[in-house]
Chains A and B, each alone.
Chain A
Amino acid sequence: MNDFLFVVVPYICLTVFVAGHLWRYRYDKFGWTTRSSQLYENRLLRIGSPLFHFGMLGVVGGHVFGLLIPQSWTDAVGIGEHAYHVAAVGGGLLAGIATVVGLAILVYRRRTVGPVFSATTVMDKVMYAFLIVAILLGMWNTVAGSILTIGGEYNYRQGVSVWFRSFLAFQPDADLMGDAPLGFQLHALVAFGLFALWPFTRLVHVFSAPLGYLTRPYIVYRSRDQELGSHRPRRGWDRVG
Chain B
Amino acid sequence: MRVMAQMAMVMNLDKCIGCHTCSVTCKQAWTNRSGTEYIWFNNVETRPGLGYPRTYEDQEKWKGGWELNDRGRLVLKAGGRLKNLLTIFSNPKLPSIGEYYEPWTYDYSTLTDAPAQEHTPVARPKSLISGKNMKIEWSANWDDDLGGSTETAHRDPMLAKIAEKVKFEFEQTFMFYLPRICEHCLNPSCAASCPSGAIYKREEDGIVLVDQDKCRGWRKCVSGCPYKKIYFNHRTGKAEKCTFCFPRIEVGLPTVCAETCVGRLRYIGLMLYDADKVLEAASTEEDHGLYEAQRDVFLDPFDADVIREAEKAGIARDWIAAAQRSPIYALINTFKVALPLHPEYRTMPMVWYIPPLSPVVDVVAETGEDAEDKGNLFAAIDALRIPVEYLAELFTAGDVAPVDAVLKKLAAMRCYMRDINMGRDPDASIPAAVGMTEEEMYDMYRLLAIAKYDERYVIPAAHTEQAHSLEELSTECSVSEYGGGQQDLFGEGSGVPTPIAVENFQMLQDRQTSDSLAGPEDKGARINLLNWDGKGSPPGLFPSKRSGS
- Given the interface pairs A38-B91, A230-B498, A233-B468, the reply to whether A33 lies near B217 with Cβ below 8 Å is yes
- Interface pair A231/B477, CB less than 8 Å apart: yes
What B residues does A38 contact at CB under 8 A? 90-91, 94, 219
191-216 of chain A: CB within 8 A of chain B: 200-202, 205, 208, 210-214, 216
Given A32-B216, A46-B92, 13 extra CB contacts under 8 A: A30-B494, A31-B495, A34-B217, A37-B234, A118-B130, A123-B489, A205-B216, A210-B85, A213-B195, A219-B187, A219-B188, A223-B204, A230-B501
- The answer to whether A39 and B232 touch across the interface, beta carbons within 8 angstroms, is yes
Asked whether B195 lies within 8 Å of A210 as measured between CB atoms, the reply is yes
Selected contact of A220 from candidates B130, B201, B235, B493, CB within 8 Å: B201
- Whether B90 pairs with A45 at a CB distance below 8 angstroms is yes
Q: Bound state CA distance, A49 and B91, in angstroms?
A: 10
Chain A residues contacting B162 (CB-CB under 8 Å) are: none
The contact of B200 among A42, A208, A221, by CB within 8 Å, is A221
Considering the complex, give the chain A residue whose CB is closest to the CB of B501.
A230
- The list of the 9 closest CB pairs from A to B, nearest first, reads A31-B494, A210-B195, A218-B192, A29-B213, A33-B217, A33-B237, A35-B237, A114-B130, A31-B490
CA distance A45 to B500 in the complex (A): 33
- For the complex, would chain B's binding face be called helix, strand, loop or mixed by DSSP majority? loop
Contact present for A216 and B197 (CB under 8 Å): yes
A222 at the interface (CB under 8 A from B): yes
C-alpha gap A115/B132 in the complex (Å)? 10
- CB-contact partner of B217 in A36, A121, A213, A228, under 8 A: A36
The answer to the question of A236 belonging to the interface, with a C-beta cut-off of 8 Å to chain B, is: yes
Q: Nearest-CB distance from A138 to chain B (Å)?
A: 20
Contact B491 A40 (CB under 8 A): no
Interface size class of A (residues with CB under 8 A): 35 or more
Q: CA separation between A53 and B471, bound complex, in Å?
A: 39
Q: Which residues of A contact B495 (CB under 8 A)?
A: 27-28, 30-31
- Chain B residues with Cβ below 8 Å from A36 are 217-219, 232, 237
When C-beta atoms are compared, the residue in chain B nearest to A120 turns out to be B491
- Flag if A224 contacts B462 (CB, 8 Å): yes
Contacts of B195 in A (CB 8 A): 210, 213
Check: B504 CB closer than 8 A to any chain A CB: no
- Beyond A115-B129, A226-B469, whether A54 also contacts B89 by CB under 8 A is yes
Q: 22 A-B contacts, Cβ less than 8 Å apart? A: A27-B495, A29-B213, A30-B213, A31-B489, A34-B237, A38-B94, A39-B97, A39-B234, A41-B96, A42-B94, A49-B89, A115-B129, A205-B216, A216-B197, A220-B197, A220-B199, A221-B200, A224-B462, A225-B469, A230-B498, A233-B468, A233-B476
> Complex Cα distance A30/B469, Å?
20
CA A200 to CA B187, docked complex, whole Å: 37
- Out of A33, A123, A228, A229, which one reaches B236, CB within 8 Å? A33
Given the known interface contacts A33-B217, A33-B238, A119-B234, the answer about A39 and B94 at a Cβ–Cβ threshold of 8 Å is yes
B218 and A30 form a contact (CB under 8 A):
no
0/1 per residue, B152-186, Cβ < 8 Å to A? Answer: 00000000000000000000000000000000000
Whether A234 pairs with B476 at a CB distance below 8 angstroms is: yes
Who on chain B is nearest to A228 by CB?
Answer: B469
Question: Which residues, 439 to 485 on B, are CB-close (under 8 Å) to A?
Answer: 462, 466, 468-471, 474, 476-477, 481, 485
Q: Identify which of residues 92-109 in chain B touch chain A, using a CB-to-CB cut-off of 8 Å.
A: 92, 94, 96-97
Contact (A28, B188) CB under 8 Å given A214-B82, A222-B200? no
Complex contacts, A211 vs chain B, CB 8 Å: 85
CB distance from B315 to the nearest CB of A (A): 13
Decide: B84 and A30 in contact? CB cutoff 8 A.
no
- Cα(A56)–Cα(B416), bound, Å: 71
With A38-B90, A119-B234 known to touch, is A214 a contact of B81 (CB < 8 Å)?
Answer: yes
The interface of chain B, by Cβ under 8 A from chain A, is 81-82, 84-85, 88-92, 94, 96-97, 129-132, 187-188, 191-192, 194-197, 199-205, 211-219, 232, 234-238, 250, 462, 466, 468-471, 474, 476-477, 481, 485, 488-491, 493-501
A50 to chain B, nearest CB (A): 5
Contact A230/B499 with A121-B490, A213-B195 known, Cβ cut-off 8 Å: yes
Q: Which one of A27, A40, A114, A205 contacts B234 once the chains associate, using CB atoms below 8 Å?
A: A40
| B201–A236 CB distance below 8 A | no
Q: How far is the CA of A37 from the CA of B237 in the complex (A)?
A: 8
B530 to chain A, nearest CB (A): 12
A42 to B237 CA separation, bound complex (whole angstroms): 16
For residue A56, which residue of chain B has the nearest CB? B89
**A236 x B468 contact (CB < 8 A):** yes
Cβ contacts A75-105/B at 8 Å (1 or 0 each): 0000000000000000000000000000000
Contact with B along A140-173 (1 / 0, CB 8 A): 0000000000000000000000000000000000
**B496 nearest in chain A by CB position:** A27
Return the CB mask of A46-66 against B: 1 if under 8 Å, else 0.
Answer: 100110111000000000000
Contacts of B88 in A (CB 8 A): 210
Q: Contact between A123 and B490 (Cβ–Cβ < 8 Å)?
A: yes
CA distance A80 to B195 in the complex (A): 41
Q: How far is the CB of B96 from chain A (nearest CB, A)?
A: 5
Nearest-CB distance from B98 to chain A (Å)?
9
Closest to B102 in A: A115
Instruction: Tell which of A29, A216, A222 touches B203, judged by Cβ atoms closer than 8 Å.
Output: A222
Q: How far is the CA of A228 from the CA of B474 in the complex (A)?
A: 12
- With A115-B129, A208-B216, A216-B197 in contact, is A30–B192 under 8 Å at CB? no
Identify the interface centre among A210, A214, A225: most chain B CB within 10 Å of its CB: A210
User: Measured between alpha carbons, how far is A31 from B493 in the docked complex, in Å?
Assistant: 6
Cβ A230 vs Cβ B497 within 8 A: yes
> Given A34-B216, A38-B91, A214-B85: A221 and B497 within 8 A (CB)?
no
